[in-house]
């Protein structure tokens, strides 16, 4: 039962092969049995799940239908869930029970999805390995000595290990696509503004975007359908109609123009990944796509620009965690300054503290123009590169990551080494574009992802290309041994 995709679950529930309650019990038992190896959950919500499953079964018995009605999912632990701990992977919020549901959580609950729990993540979504969580590192089900990617590593490891079919995640610089690549999943970062950020604890507000992590493009379409849409509570949410993502999955790829940026195949890319990317290109050519070389000349500046802008926004967003308004409060403060210093010093881990310091520095008088303003200018150049490329091609294809999942601890002493691994993903966040990662093969038994990028609001196109690819390949069906 745990092998089913969301689409298969929807069919099974509609045909009354099993109930949502039965499925929920099977998956909860599986999580209890197997998650100790992975650490992919911070909180399990068994009671809520069984309640929601029974309610979904009752709605189906009353004639209601819907792809998410009775479908078990989990939320990355930065989506606020009413009355349930929302920790953001931090000691700072270890005892925080949100007073309301995030829009994404409320929308999915209304569609009948069943919440099994809250998944582990890098602290405040800062990281690429899920090692900065206060609740401990998450392990990659493909090899328990390797990282699952981050910051949505808990959602990715849980879905990859078949503990549940799909989960929500967020992507500020790659945190949906990179863990998808590292665990053999399909993950989609939507256009900035497509999915409401209301109730999503902010890391870098101009880059953060929620999206689905699942095994197939078909399932990502189902989950995105439930997440996307205008929300007047989020001032950057965009009031555009949401297309039917499942309806366009079967569009032919005949004549599709795929751009491959020449900058992608530089020295930093593992040659074995380069070969798998070439194979995926050949596969898409067989389906009728036409390949064209394009150029993204400012790509080399994207990492430095991102690692100024994201910490700058984080330093501002995280100022609210001061032990007074929000967050952990130290014992017996001597005065207000002592309260701030110790509450923040105890509540935040080292990576979060590092980024707050970098961000505050970049925003300070005298450095603002040299760092923050400069980074914003680079951001515009990165966007312009994409706009020029999309005049010539329909989508852009390349690797999701330069290397497969590294060993736990391998990059802990060198944060910059980890930052450099974001080279292929962060440009889409800087430009606000949608991006998808899908399974493309294996290197040393570890999964490799191919990334597709599209113009604004073309999520349907990305899902369509990925679905057609998945109809003709079987990488995405491979299951990690032991799960």
According to DSSP, the β-strands at 395-399 and 72-76 are: unpaired
Cα-Cα end-to-end distance for the chain: 13
Q: Pick the closer one to ligand GLN by CB: 23 or 303.
A: 303
What are the tokens at 273? 């990944």
Could you say whether residue 187 binds ligand GLN (CB under 6 A)?
A: no
Give the C-alpha separation, 449 to 451, whole Å: 6
Q: Shortest gap between Cβ of 253 and ligand GLN (angstroms)?
A: 29
Q: Does 127 bind ligand GLN (CB under 6 A)?
A: yes
The residue from 19, 151, 237, 343 that contacts ligand GLN (CB under 6 A) is 151
Catalytic residue check, 118:
no
CB nearer to ligand GLN: give 171 or 459.
Answer: 171
Helices 217-227 and 459-472 sit at what angle, rounded to 10 degrees?
Answer: 160
Indicate the residue among 81 and 151 with the shorter CB distance to ligand GLN.
Answer: 151
Other C-beta atoms lying within 10 Å of the C-beta of residue 278? 12
Given 3-state DSSP classes, what are the helix, strand and coil percentages for the chain, each rounded to the nearest 5? 40, 15, 40
Say whether the peptide bond before residue 363 is cis (omega within 30 degrees of 0). Answer: no
Strand, coil or helix: what is 437?
Answer: strand
CB of 61 to ligand GLN, least distance (A): 40
Determine, following the binding rule CB under 6 A, whether residue 172 of this chain makes contact with ligand GLN.
yes
Among 23, 104, 126, 299, binds ligand GLN (CB under 6 A): 126
Q: What is the DSSP string of 36-80?
A: HHH--EEEE-HHHHHHHHHHHHHHHHTT---TTTT-EEEEETTB-
How long, in residues, is the chain? 483
- Residue 52 or 429: the one with the smaller Cβ distance to ligand GLN is 429
| x-marked contacts with ligand GLN along 415-454 as a string, rule CB under 6 A | -------x--------------------------------
Residues 380 to 399 in contact with ligand GLN, rule: CB under 6 A: none
Q: How far is the CB of 418 from ligand GLN (least distance, A)?
A: 7
Active site residue 175: yes
CB 309 within 8 A of CB 203: no
Q: Answer yes or no: 17 catalytic.
A: no
175 binds ligand GLN per the rule CB under 6 A? yes
Q: Does residue 125 interact with ligand GLN by CB under 6 A? A: yes
Going residue by residue from 298 to 317, which x/- string records binding to ligand GLN, judged by CB under 6 A? Answer: ------------x-------
Residues 84-123 that bind ligand GLN (CB under 6 A): none
Based on the shown chain and the rule CB under 6 A, indicate whether residue 173 belongs to the binding site for ligand GLN.
yes
Distance CA 120, CA 41 (A): 5
Q: Which of 151, 152, 280, 437 is catalytic?
A: 151
* Cα distance between residue 422 and residue 178, in whole Å: 8
CB of 273 to ligand GLN, least distance (A): 18
**Which residues are bridge partners to 448 per DSSP?**
441
Active site residues: 76, 151, 175
Residues that bind ligand GLN (CB under 6 A): 125-128, 151, 171-175, 203, 310, 422
């Amino acid at each position: 039962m745990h092998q089913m995709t969301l689409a298969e679950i929807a069919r099974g529930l509609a045909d009354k092969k099993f109930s949502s309650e039965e499925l929920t019990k099977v998956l909860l038992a599986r999580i209890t049995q197997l998650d100790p190896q992975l650490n992919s959950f911070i909180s399990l919500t068994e009671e809520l799940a069984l309640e929601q499953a029974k309610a979904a079964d009752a709605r189906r018995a009353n004639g209601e239908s819907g792809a998410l009605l009775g479908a078990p999912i989990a939320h990355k632990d930065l989506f606020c869930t009413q009355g349930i701990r929302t920790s953001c992977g931090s000691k700072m919020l270890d005892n925080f029970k949100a007073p309301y549901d995030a829009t994404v959580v409320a929308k999915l609950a209304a569609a009948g999805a069943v919440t099994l729990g809250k998944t582990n993540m890098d602290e405040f979504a800062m990281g690429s390995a899920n090692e900065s969580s206060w609740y401990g590192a998450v392990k990659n089900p493909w090899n328990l000595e390797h990282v699952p990617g981050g910051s949505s590593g808990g959602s990715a490891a849980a879905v990859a290990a078949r503990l549940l079919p799909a989960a929500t995640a967020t992507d500020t610089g790659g945190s949906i696509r990179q863990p998808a690549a590292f665990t053999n999943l399909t993950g989609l970062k939507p256009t900035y503004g497509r999915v409401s950020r209301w109730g999503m604890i902010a890391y870098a507000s101009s880059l953060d975007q929620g999206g689905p992590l699942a095994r197939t493009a078909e399932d990502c379409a189902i989950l995105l359908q439930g997440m996307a849409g205008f929300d007047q509570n989020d001032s950057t949410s965009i009031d555009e109609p949401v297309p039917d993502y499942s309806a366009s999955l079967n569009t032919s790829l005949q004549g599709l123009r795929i751009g491959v940026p020449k900058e992608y195949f530089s020295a930093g890319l593992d040659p074995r990944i380069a070969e798998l990317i070439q194979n995926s290109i050949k596969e898409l050519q067989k389906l009728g796509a036409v390949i064209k070389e394009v150029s993204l000349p400012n790509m080399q500046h994207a990492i430095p620009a991102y690692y100024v802008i994201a910490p700058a926004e984080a330093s501002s967003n995280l100022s609210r965690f001061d032990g007074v308004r929000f967050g952990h409060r130290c014992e017996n403060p001597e005065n207000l300054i002592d309260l701030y210093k110790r509450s923040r010093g105890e509540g935040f881990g080292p990576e979060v503290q590092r980024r707050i310091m970098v961000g505050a520095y970049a925003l300070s008088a005298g450095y603002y123009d040299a760092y923050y303003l400069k980074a914003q200018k680079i951001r515009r150049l990165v966007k312009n590169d994409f706009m020029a490329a999309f005049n010539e091609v329909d989508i852009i294809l390349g690797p999701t990551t330069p290397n497969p999942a590294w060993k736990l601890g391998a990059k802990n002493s060198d944060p910059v080494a980890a930052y450099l691994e974001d080279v292929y993903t962060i440009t889409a966040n800087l430009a606000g574009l949608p991006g998808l990662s899908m399974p493309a093969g294996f290197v040393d038994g570890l999964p490799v992802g191919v990334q597709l990028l599209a113009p604004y609001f073309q999520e349907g196109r990305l899902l369509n290309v990925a679905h057609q690819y998945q109809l003709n390949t079987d990488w995405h069906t491979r299951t990690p041994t032991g799960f």
